[in-house]
Amino acid sequence: MDVATSAPLAEAVVDLAAVRHNVQVLRAGAPGAELMAVVKADGYGHGAAVVGAAALEAGATWLGVCTIDEALQLRAAGITCPVLCWLHTPDDDFAAAVTAGIDLSVSSRAHLDAVLDAVAAAGRPARLHLKVDTGLSRNGAQPAAWADLLDDAAKAVADGHAEVVAVWSHLARADDPQDPTLDVQAARLNAAWQAARERGLDPIRHLANSAATMSRPDLHFDLVRPGIAVYGLDPFDRPVAESPLRPVMTLRARVVLVKRVPEGEGVSYGHEWTTPRETTLALLPIGYADGVPRGLGRDGRMRVLLGGAIRPVVGRVCMDQVVVDCGDAEVAIGDRAVLFGPGGAGEPTAQDWADELGTIHYEIVTGVRGRARRTVVDGEGQV
């Protein structure tokens, strides 16, 4: 990406040992199914290829991504396992995908036609996962369109142009495992799969994301597709101490300046906070351009682990910087502050940030960007 000339000011540390641990936990809970680690959106902000490789080491046998570009990037990184991608327009570069042996999800006849047009150029049959909309109303064919899609697919198989690898779908409310829509969606998937078998096809089925992988063994079918749990973030928002998972990402930054400031001085834009007494302020080189949400700066919601204690960020979060109130503590330039991490040393977690902001931890880790440099470690203890 950029030319790194010095030690990073801000870092997203990614612990591959935690990735492997999480994949092992997920596999142990789904012994009858294969595991597809979902590494879309650059591995939820953690690095798709590094996380994917670690997941494969731990027993995942598939990787899942959103776009053809993301799939081709995995191939370019030397990853040879089955890779599924599922979001395309019909004018996407299906020939490149088929040539690279990428499995393609298809949700409509228009998409199927486009894939089949590309097969001649690719010189090998397409590997298709036919997606049925069982109740999320997002991607996938409506049940009413399913028979036509199956007829076209069965013909393509008979012609030697395609293989129907799977019939699949995605759950709307898996984070509430007892919600009756899960059973409705599973029944619709089964009906769609049965219709495929009636046409002589023999696809596998897959439905479960992280939440269903961890709570609904009856919905594992042949393959489970966990994403967020691979990154150690609990799909049921359980605290780290109660979750079998280990958070993979730690966001940290090094203090660039420390100073004593007298009582009564306004801090950061708008002076939303004023020093209540003489105090030591530490400046951290990370802000909203790097994925620290500006909303965290309101009402003292943000804390960091710095110099062995949890300390408040005071005043507004700026584009590039935040200010930490250290009181009379000894804090030095170059000290490391942990913004969020696994929580083991008392530091906030991505879940804590999400709770403060009224969002989900997915958005926190995928939002890390800008100058935060990724550092990959292997079990060295991140904090």
Ligand X SMILES: *Cc1c(COP(=O)(O)O)cnc(C)c1O
Candidates 223-231, 249-257, 325-333, 352-360; binding stretch for ligand X (CB under 6 A): 223-231
224 binds ligand X (CB under 6 A): no
Give the nearest distance from C-beta 41 to ligand X in angstroms.
8
Of 131, 155, 269, 362, the active-site residue reads 269
| The binder of ligand X chosen from 45, 140, 226, 297 (CB under 6 A) | 226
Rounded Cα–Cα distance for residues 232 and 250 (Å): 11
Candidates 109-117, 220-228, 275-283, 291-299; binding stretch for ligand X (CB under 6 A): 220-228
- CA 204, 207, 212, 216: dihedral to nearest 10 degrees? -50
Candidates 159-167, 181-189, 222-230, 309-317; binding stretch for ligand X (CB under 6 A): 222-230
Decide if 375 contacts 13 (C-beta within 8 A): yes
Q: How many binding residues for ligand X (CB under 6 A)?
A: 11
Rounded Cα–Cα distance for residues 349 and 189 (Å): 36
Q: Which is nearer to ligand X, 134 or 268 (CB)?
A: 134
Give the nearest distance from C-beta 229 to ligand X in angstroms.
6
Decide if 213 contacts 244 (C-beta within 8 A): no
H-type alpha helices, the chain: 16-29, 40-44, 48-57, 68-76, 94-99, 109-122, 143-158, 180-198, 210-215, 350-357, 361-366
38 binds ligand X (CB under 6 A): yes
| The binder of ligand X chosen from 161, 170, 205, 246 (CB under 6 A) | 170
227 binds ligand X (CB under 6 A): yes
Decide if 18 contacts 52 (C-beta within 8 A): no
| The binder of ligand X chosen from 12, 228, 249, 292 (CB under 6 A) | 228
Candidates 93-101, 180-188, 226-234, 289-297; binding stretch for ligand X (CB under 6 A): 226-234
| The binder of ligand X chosen from 107, 108, 209, 349 (CB under 6 A) | 209
Q: How many CA atoms lie within 13 A of 75 on its CB side?
A: 18
210 binds ligand X (CB under 6 A): yes
Give the nearest distance from C-beta 1 to ligand X in angstroms.
24
Q: Which is nearer to ligand X, 49 or 317 (CB)?
A: 49
Decide if 353 contacts 296 (C-beta within 8 A): yes
Residue nearest to ligand X (CB): 227
Decide if 331 contacts 307 (C-beta within 8 A): yes
> Which residues are paired to 103 by β-bridges?
84, 127
**Catalytic residue status for 40:** yes
Cβ contacts of 73 within 8 Å, gap of 6 or more: 48, 49
**Catalytic residue status for 288:** no
Q: Which is nearer to ligand X, 231 or 340 (CB)?
A: 231
Helix (DSSP H) and strand (DSSP E) numbers for the chain: 11, 19
What's the N-to-C CA distance of the chain in angstroms? 25
* Residues lying near ligand X in the complex (CB under 6 A): 38, 40, 86, 170, 209-210, 225-229
Which residues are annotated as catalytic?
Answer: 40, 269
